[in-house]
Amino acid sequence: MSSAAELLLDTARRGELHHSIILHGPSREELRALALSLAKTLNCLEGTTGDDCPACDRIERRLHPDVHFIEVSGERKLISIEQIREVVAEATLRPYEGRNKVFVIDPADGLSTGGSNSLLKTLEEPARDTTFILLTRSPDLLLPTIRSRSQAIYVGGEVAQDEELADFIRSGLMRFARERDTAALLAIAAAVSQREPTGDAIALLGTILCDAAAGRIDLGGSLSVDRILAAADGTTAALRWLAVNADARLVVEQALAELV
């Protein structure tokens, strides 16, 4: 499992997940597996990131009354407006037996414009304990109004995706760990916030910080694991702020300020 996925599951375990998540990436299987793990984590009776407790088992077998899969079927390419109406009605109810109602929309680019619009108000003012997980190859395939209400997470192959930026981030972090030169952090924030799509670049930064906290990357300095984890959490917050059109550079600088 990628570090981005681990970070996301841990965020879910702590109950701090954004209420609408877009999981995007090239592998539909990987997206589905992560969505399933998230649904389990949000409802696991053992409080873990998904184990074989009865709730997780029922989610796996698609028998859990609070976890809904909205999919296209047969010849249809689109999710029907009736399916979305059911989601909207169901989303107003409290969970039956779990802690969270989870709606997995697969694929989210199967939403028609009408379907997307019907879903907007629910996404905007979600009931407590409700999480939407939208799966797609690319957030660009979704309406901007859906994207702006959701946190987009790239799943799979993130490091290979932008090796140049990853190198820049790693060497900047090493320089900061060695010399405590905050200019190195500001340079990282500038580089990350100028990348398109910025959400993917911030997710990459979060992945690298997680790798450093887990000891998979040696920054060669004396940064505490707590501070590195705080900065990694900061990148999750930054993605949330980005979804409401906050200044990307500022929010990344704030995340990295946790290291100082």
Residue 60 binds to Zn ion (criterion: CB under 5 A): no
Amino acid at 161: Q
Please state the closest distance from residue 55 (CB atom) to Zn ion, in A.
Answer: 5
- Whether a cis peptide bond, with omega within 30° of 0, leads into 54 is no
Residue 246 binds to Zn ion (criterion: CB under 5 A): no
One of 8, 22, 39, 44 touching Zn ion (CB under 5 A): 44
Please state the closest distance from residue 39 (CB atom) to Zn ion, in A.
Answer: 10
Please state the closest distance from residue 229 (CB atom) to Zn ion, in A.
Answer: 24
CA distances from 94 to 10, 60, 126, 128 (A): 24, 21, 11, 8
One of 56, 189, 209, 259 touching Zn ion (CB under 5 A): 56
Q: What is the 3-state secondary structure (H, E, C) of 126-157?
A: CCCCEEEEEEECCHHHCCHHHHCCCEEEECCC
Residue 146 · residue 116 · CB < 8 Å: yes
Please state the closest distance from residue 194 (CB atom) to Zn ion, in A.
Answer: 41
* Identity of the residue, 60 or 71, whose beta carbon is nearer to Zn ion in the bound complex: 60
From 43-51, 110-118, 135-143, 203-211, give the range in contact with Zn ion by CB under 5 A: 43-51
Please state the closest distance from residue 45 (CB atom) to Zn ion, in A.
Answer: 5
Residue 53 binds to Zn ion (criterion: CB under 5 A): yes
Residue 103 · residue 87 · CB < 8 Å: yes
Contacts of 112 (CB under 8 A, 6+ apart): 78, 79, 81
Residue with tokens 């995340």: 255
* Identity of the residue, 57 or 71, whose beta carbon is nearer to Zn ion in the bound complex: 57
Binding site for Zn ion (CB under 5 A): 44, 46, 51, 53, 56
